[in-house]
Structure 1
Amino acid sequence: MSIPWRADPTASLSRRLGDTPAALGHTGNDDECPDIWELDNGDIVVVGQDLTGAYASRLPADLKIAEGESLVVIPRSTFVSAKADLPDD
């Protein structure tokens, strides 16, 4: 039996994936910054709007959000701009 994945809260932010929120035109101030970062252990951090409650009643049967997890939405352009920084494996 495999051990379930758990986020490592001691991992450090290593590098931004894609363009800055300002470069993508997604922020007009310091409070709105959708972003994607890689941690030093290879895991990914996504900064976006927590819409867990808004989607809770509309989730497909095979999409589960565990306690302590959130459904986070980011702009498509933020995700697309990170493509060049993502490894193939």
Structure 2
Amino acid sequence: MARFWDADSSALFVKRLGKSAAELGNSEDEEKCPDIWQLDNGDIAVIGRDLTAVYASRLPNGVSIGPGERLVVIPGNMLSAAKADIPDA
């Protein structure tokens, strides 16, 4: 069965949203940093800590993690820094 939405794995990285983890003081190692990027098709890529297994048993009602999905966590200040780069709906 086809999904209503699926990620396009051919999409390319266009621009970082917000600031880098190093700029925000969230990382000293540029190769292992959380990040938020806009892709050329308008989708958003989030790089964070994979905490799927940790949160799977305590998700709120109505929330689920489907096959092929992962729950990632990024620093709150990273999303706040990206706010100016995220267009209104």
* TM bracket, shorter-chain basis: over 0.9
Shift, 1:60, TM fit: 1.3
Contact 1:26 1:32 in 2 (8 A): no
Q: Which residue number corresponds to residue 30 of structure 1?
A: 30
Q: Which residue number corresponds to residue 44 of structure 1?
A: 44
2 CA distance for matches of 1:31 and 1:64? 30
Q: Which residue number corresponds to residue 20 of structure 1?
A: 20
Contact 2:22 2:30 in 1 (8 A): no
1 CA distance for matches of 2:62 and 2:27? 33
1:7-56: CA deviations, max 9, x gaps? 00000001000011110011111343111000000000000000000001
Q: How does 1:1-89 map to 2 (within 5 A)?
A: 4-89=4-89
TM-score (norm 1): 0.93
RMSD: 1.0
Secondary structure of the structure 2 residue equivalent to 1:38 = strand
| Paired letter, 1:50 | D
Runs of 4+ residues over 3 Å off in structure 1: none
- Aligned identity (percent) is 53
1 CA distance for matches of 2:11 and 2:40? 6
Instruction: List gaps (5 residues or longer) in structure 2.
Output: none
TM-score (norm 2): 0.93
